[in-house]
Amino acid sequence: MLLQLKQLLTPDEVAQARQLLGRDAPWLDGRVSAGSQARTRKSNQQLAQDSAVSRQLQALVRQALQREPLFLSAALPRRIYNPLFNRYGGETNAFGPHVDGAVMHSASTGEWVRSDISCTLFLSEPQDYDGGELCVQDSWGSRGIKLAAGDAVLYPGTSVHEVTPVTRGVRLASFFWIESMVRSDEQRRLLFDLDMNLLKLRAQLGETTETIALTGVYHNLLREWAST
């Protein structure tokens, strides 16, 4: 499932993030965190994970995720990899087609996170750079995604994806992985559909005997499928 999270960060938070990622930020060669296959495709810069700037930005992103009901319903997060930050522009401007590792180890938290879901949070405005689309391959072919600053996209961790070359300007983003309580993309999608439509039914009809029963179905399915 591909899902857009609009305005995950407020305009103020985006401005704060961009300021922190400015001239003095400790950028490193992005290949430090890539596996052997991805390393040959990756040409970008990544923020040093153990820096004070990075910790401040991670807290900002984590808070935003926790207050976003759409994220919680769609991802059913069990563990979230500490958000990373990257920069595409100039000579280091692309990340060719690759798959993310299935299990990622975070050096800063010591945690292992299974990458059921990938997330990219855009921090630059689309008009400030050319290229830099996140292209995700699915059964319909490749989809190019380029969102407003502050918006994020969730996409399956299982997909082949790439970031096309940035030919003008700079593209700043945060990216990370989510291990879900529900491992299967199909099962998560069913739960998300049920949850979203129950919200609409409740808004239309108020709480009824049927909405209560269907809420029970939701929770009983989650109980069947979730591991905590």
Task: Name the site residues for Ni ion (rule: CB under 5 A).
Answer: 100
Comparison of 100 and 116: residue with beta carbon closer to Ni ion: 100
User: Least Å distance between CB 33 and Ni ion?
Assistant: 10
- Strands 45-47 and 129-131, sheet pairing: unpaired
Backbone angles phi, psi at 212, to 5 degrees: -65, -45
CB of 2 to Ni ion, least distance (A): 15
Secondary structure of residue 174 in the 3-state scheme: strand
Closest residue to Ni ion: CB criterion? 100
Closer to Ni ion by Cβ: residue 164 or 191: 164
Whole-number Å distance between alpha carbons of 118 and 159: 9
Q: What is the C-alpha separation between 121 and 102, in angstroms, rounded? A: 20
Nearest distance, CB of residue 95 and Ni ion, angstroms: 7
Q: Cβ of residue 129: shortest distance to Ni ion, in angstroms?
A: 19
Residue 39 or 55 having the CB closest to Ni ion: 39
CA atoms within 13 A on the CB side of 12: 2
Is residue 173 classed exposed, middle or buried when 0-12, 13-18 and 19+ CB atoms within 10 A define those classes? buried
163 touches 94 (CB < 8 A): yes
> For residues 35 and 201, which CB has a smaller minimum distance to Ni ion in the complex?
35
Closest CB to Ni ion among 17 and 38? 38
Q: Closest separation between CB of residue 221 and Ni ion, Å?
A: 30
